Structures are given as C-alpha cells and as structure tokens.
C-alpha cells in the first residue's frame, strides 16, 4: 500500500508540474503577443498630434479628439515612428479622417476620424432677424462658444457685418457665420475701376474695366484700358482692384 500511495503522489506532482509549465508558456506567449501589437492609444495619439500640428498658431483650440478604434483590430508593432497624413485630396476640417501608417517592418495603414473643437468669441443674434436684413451693432452681442473646427467661418467683429445681407430668417441666439450672408457687389461688370499694383515698393495706379461682378475679397478679371491686357485682381473697395504685376 505505501508503494501505491507513493506512485500516486508522484503522478499528481508530475501532472501539477506539467500544468504549471503550460500556464507559464501561455503567459509568456500572451506577453510576447502584447509586445508585438501596436498600442491603439499610440495610434490615436499620433492622429491627434498630426491634426494639432496642422492648425494655425493662433487657433483657440479647446480639444482635438480621435475616435476610439475597434477593439478587435490589431496592428503589428512598428519598427519606426508611426507616420500620419491626410488622404489624397483631403483638407483639414472640423471632423477629419487621418491616415496613420507603419512603413518599417510590418506595413499597414489605419484611418482615424479626428474631431477638432475651438472656443472663440463670435457674434450672436440678440433677436430674430428676417431675410434680407442689414445687421448693425445693436442686433448682436459677443459670446464665447465651443464650436467644431477652428471656426474661421464665423463673424467675430462688428465690422464684419458691413456690406452683408442676411440670406434667410435667423432665430435669436444664432452664431453668425459667413455663409448666412450675401456679400454686397462692390464692382459691376463693365464698370470703370482703378487698378492698383505695388512695384519695387512703389504703388502704381491705372484705369481698368471690370469684366464681371465682384464682392469684397473676390478675385476678378479686369482689362487695363491703357495696354488692353486682361489681368486678375482682388476687389478691395467700390472701385479699387489690386493686381499683381
């Protein structure tokens, strides 16, 4: 009987050692697998850092946040720093898809949606306004708002209301953006205008004729009445177009 008990204990000890070895090997394999996978947090951080680097230096950015990635996705560990880029033809927007790639060792690319929000001072309506309204200082107030993107399309100064007409009815509290207005036409087709150019630090003026209608800041084709040459310029005032020579 003692020999049977001893043999049984020996088999139990052997089984336990075998089980421990399996558990240890599994743990090692798991650890190796984890180190061989690129961190999802690192991928998101790379996308966020790229968007921040593309924003204007004076942008009042409140947050740049990459969307969570699907937990089922696994990317092989990259042997070099991850590279971020915009897809071909894409532009930076309030919500931008950024490509994050590995070019060394394993090669892969994942596209990460990134949302940008800014806190800026903008003009907000004090009361409802009708279509075709011409707004003045008394119609608006300045408020700080958290908005998508870097908010360059919003009006921030009372002077921005000049030479603009409201396109459609707007309710109280509306944050005013450029696309809510129709800019006044400062130049009309066939109108005689002053062409202004800077040459060697000197300002040169000539008479010209507008070949199309144009609002402030619009690019417009004009004809120099002296040389009859057709050039393109930017509308600066009611009869002034700045051209490059």
Distance from C-alpha of 224 to C-alpha of 197, rounded to nearest angstrom = 12
How confident is the model at residue 151, as a pLDDT? 60
Residue position matching structure tokens 């699907």 = 70
How confident is the model at residue 69, as a pLDDT? 92
How confident is the model at residue 31, as a pLDDT? 41
How confident is the model at residue 90, as a pLDDT? 81
Q: Which CATH architecture has domain 185-243?
A: Roll (2.30)
Which residues does the chain have with pLDDT short of 50?
A: 1, 4, 12, 15-16, 18-34
Distance from C-alpha of 102 to C-alpha of 78, rounded to nearest angstrom = 6
> Which contiguous run of DSSP H or E holds residue 222?
strand 219-224
How confident is the model at residue 6, as a pLDDT? 54
User: What are φ and ψ of residue 41, in 5° steps?
Assistant: -60, -35
Spans of all domains in the chain: 39-183, 185-243
How confident is the model at residue 33, as a pLDDT? 43
> Which contiguous run of DSSP H or E holds residue 49?
helix 40-54
How confident is the model at residue 149, as a pLDDT? 67
Q: Which CATH architecture has domain 39-183?
A: Alpha-Beta Complex (3.90)
């Amino acid at each position: 009987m003692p020999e049977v008990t001893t043999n049984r204990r020996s088999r139990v000890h052997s089984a336990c050692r075998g089980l421990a070895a399996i558990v240890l090997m599994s743990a090692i394999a798991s650890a190796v697998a984890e180190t061989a996978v690129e961190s999802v947090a690192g991928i998101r951080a790379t996308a966020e850092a790229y968007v921040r680097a593309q924003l204007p230096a004076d942008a009042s950015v409140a947050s740049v946040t990459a969307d969570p990635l699907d937990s089922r996705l696994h990317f092989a560990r990259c042997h070099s720093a991850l590279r971020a880029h915009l897809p071909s033809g894409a532009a930076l927007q309030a919500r931008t898809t950024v490509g994050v790639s590995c070019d060394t060792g394993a090669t892969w690319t994942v596209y990460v949606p990134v949302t940008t929000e800014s806190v800026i001072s903008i003009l907000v309506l004090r009361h409802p306004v009708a279509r075709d309204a011409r707004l003045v200082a008394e119609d608006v107030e300045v408020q700080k708002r958290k908005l998508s993107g870097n908010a360059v399309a919003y009006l921030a100064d009372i002077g921005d209301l000049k030479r603009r007409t409201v396109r459609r009815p707007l309710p109280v509290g509306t944050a005013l953006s450029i696309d809510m207005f129709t800019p006044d036409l400062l130049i009309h087709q066939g109108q005689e205008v002053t062409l202004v150019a800077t040459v060697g630090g000197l300002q040169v003026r000539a008479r010209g004729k507008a070949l199309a209608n144009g609002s402030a800041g619009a690019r417009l084709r004009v004809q120099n009445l002296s040389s009859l040459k057709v050039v393109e310029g930017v509308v600066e005032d009611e009869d002034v177009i700045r051209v490059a020579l």
